[in-house]
């Protein structure tokens, strides 16, 4: 029955590899190829488990392995892929030539993850950590016009706002996951049908391919009230690859991401959704002061150009939450 055991665990060496062992492994594989890891150690004269040999070869000795620091582009790609694939390190490594899954995993855990946490980004969901938002200080801010907020409260349908928030937070997730979140929030099954202005929202969801066919049928059965149609905030679309000018605001839809992955293409370095450059001149929220641009485009929030210098890289995303709502903001125009 079955195969014979791959190796006798007794008497096999563990721990760090010596240069002599490395030399034996390299020499054997150069002549015979990796082949059968079970028989390799014995044939190569190594007192190691085949598993250990495979790990040593794939993670360290393989000639095509790229050594040294990760470039900013590589880092961007890792974050981008992680937002889509999660902890599928091998899948991420497959799209980063010369990097191993172990190397990427280590780099994520020791660098990227910590930086995202410092920046108030949840490294699992890739969304801002709302628990870190100090709402009381925001409300007490002298620059925050409370009367405008009170006026806003009368205009915003809270359910629409909740959906927009969910969509924004889930912009990098798969449609299935997003659908699950929406359903968990009971946004679609029980409440959306009675939602004021939800016709436009439905349209936006469809445009972004966020609904599957059964959901679309379900949603098309209700009679929306158009009273608040013009008050729905812009539903975010997906940020564009960096080779597309940000100003064009071409939506990067989930289907595009899937297409990239399905075609086994490497995702292009992309303007990472929740990043704001250190130079706040281009900040979307700052741009609210510009009378010619009073309509907030969430697209532009998501496509703020990335910093590229080493110093800027270190403070990556650090200004994410440091926006101010100008007193002069006209919420009527905003909405």
C-alpha dist (Å) from residue 207 to 95, 220, 236, 242, 254: 29, 14, 11, 22, 11
**CA 29, 31, 33, 34 torsion: positive or negative?**
negative
Which of 91, 200, 320, 325 is the binder for DNA (CB under 7 A)? 91
C-alpha dist (Å) from residue 318 to 58, 128, 139: 36, 12, 21
Nearer to DNA, 134 or 264 (CB): 264
Q: How far is the CB of 272 from DNA (least distance, A)?
A: 20
β-bridge mates for residue 128, sequence order: 121
CA distance 258 to 255: 5
CA distance 320 to 283: 10
Of 262-321, binders to DNA (CB under 7 A) are none
**CA 246, 247, 252, 256 torsion: positive or negative?**
negative
Binding mask 60-79 for DNA (x = CB under 7 A): x-------------------
Binding mask 101-120 for DNA (x = CB under 7 A): xxx-xxx-xxx--x------
Under the binding rule (CB under 7 A), the answer on residue 6 touching DNA is yes
Under the binding rule (CB under 7 A), the answer on residue 10 touching DNA is no
Under the binding rule (CB under 7 A), the answer on residue 54 touching DNA is yes
Nearer to DNA, 60 or 334 (CB): 60
Q: How far is the CB of 68 from DNA (least distance, A)?
A: 9
Under the binding rule (CB under 7 A), the answer on residue 1 touching DNA is yes
Q: How far is the CB of 308 from DNA (least distance, A)?
A: 20
Q: Which class for 93: exposed (0-12), middle (13-18), buried (19 or more C-beta within 10 A)?
A: buried
Size of the site for DNA (CB under 7 A): 38
Q: Is 77 helix (H, G, I), strand (E, B) or coil?
A: helix
Q: How far is the CB of 64 from DNA (least distance, A)?
A: 15
Site stretch for DNA (CB under 7 A), options 31-39, 202-210, 222-230, 304-312: 31-39
Nearest alpha-carbon partner for 301 in 101, 167, 140, 177: 167
Angle at 89 between CA 20 and CA 65, to 5 degrees: 40
Count H helices and E strands in the chain, helices first. Answer: 17, 0
Which of 10, 14, 134, 264 is the binder for DNA (CB under 7 A)? 14
Under the binding rule (CB under 7 A), the answer on residue 2 touching DNA is yes
Under the binding rule (CB under 7 A), the answer on residue 7 touching DNA is yes
Sequence-separated (6 or more) residues with CB below 8 Å from residue 33 = none
Site stretch for DNA (CB under 7 A), options 48-56, 129-137, 248-256, 304-312: 48-56
Nearer to DNA, 38 or 181 (CB): 38
Which of 15, 63, 158, 214 is the binder for DNA (CB under 7 A)? 15
CA distance 305 to 160: 28
Which of 23, 88, 118, 322 is the binder for DNA (CB under 7 A)? 88
Q: Which class for 287: exposed (0-12), middle (13-18), buried (19 or more C-beta within 10 A)?
A: middle
Under the binding rule (CB under 7 A), the answer on residue 38 touching DNA is yes
User: Rule CB under 7 A: which residues touch DNA?
Assistant: 1-7, 13-17, 36-38, 50-52, 54-56, 59-60, 87-91, 101-103, 105-107, 109-111, 114
């Amino acid at each position: 029955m079955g195969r014979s055991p791959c190796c006798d665990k007794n008497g096999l060496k563990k721990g760090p590899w010596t240069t002599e062992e490395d030399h034996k492994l390299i020499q054997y594989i150069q002549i015979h190829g990796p082949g059968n890891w079970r028989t390799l150690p014995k044939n190569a004269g190594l007192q190691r488990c085949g598993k250990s040999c495979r790990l040593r070869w794939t993670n360290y000795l393989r000639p095509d392995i790229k050594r040294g620091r990760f470039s900013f582009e590589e880092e961007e790609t890792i974050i981008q892929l992680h937002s889509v694939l999660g902890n599928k390190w091998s899948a991420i490594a497959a799209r980063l030539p010369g990097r191993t899954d172990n190397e990427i995993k280590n780099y994520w855990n020791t660098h990227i993850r910590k930086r995202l946490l410092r920046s108030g980004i949840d490294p699992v969901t890739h969304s801002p950590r709302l628990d870190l938002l100090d709402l009381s200080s925001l409300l007490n801010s002298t620059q925050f016009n409370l009367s405008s907020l009170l006026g806003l409260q009368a205009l915003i349908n809270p359910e629409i706002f909740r959906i927009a928030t969910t969509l924004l937070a889930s912009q990098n997730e798969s449609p299935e996951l997003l659908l699950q979140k929406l359903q968990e929030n009971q946004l679609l099954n029980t409440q959306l049908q009675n939602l004021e202005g939800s016709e436009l929202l439905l349209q936006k969801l469809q445009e972004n391919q966020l609904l599957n066919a059964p959901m679309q049928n379900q949603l098309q059965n209700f009679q929306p009230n158009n009273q608040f149609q013009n008050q729905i905030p812009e539903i975010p679309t997906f940020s564009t690859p960096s080779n597309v000018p940000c100003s064009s605001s071409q939506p990067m839809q989930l289907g595009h991401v899937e297409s990239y992955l399905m075609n086994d293409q490497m995702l292009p370095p992309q303007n990472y959704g929740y990043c704001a450059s250190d130079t706040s001149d281009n900040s979307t929220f700052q741009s609210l002061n510009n009378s010619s641009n009073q309509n907030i485009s969430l697209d532009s929030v998501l496509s703020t150009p990335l910093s590229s210098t080493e110093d800027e890289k270190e403070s990556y995303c650090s200004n994410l939450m440091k926006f101010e709502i100008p007193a002069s903001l006209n919420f009527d125009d905003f909405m």
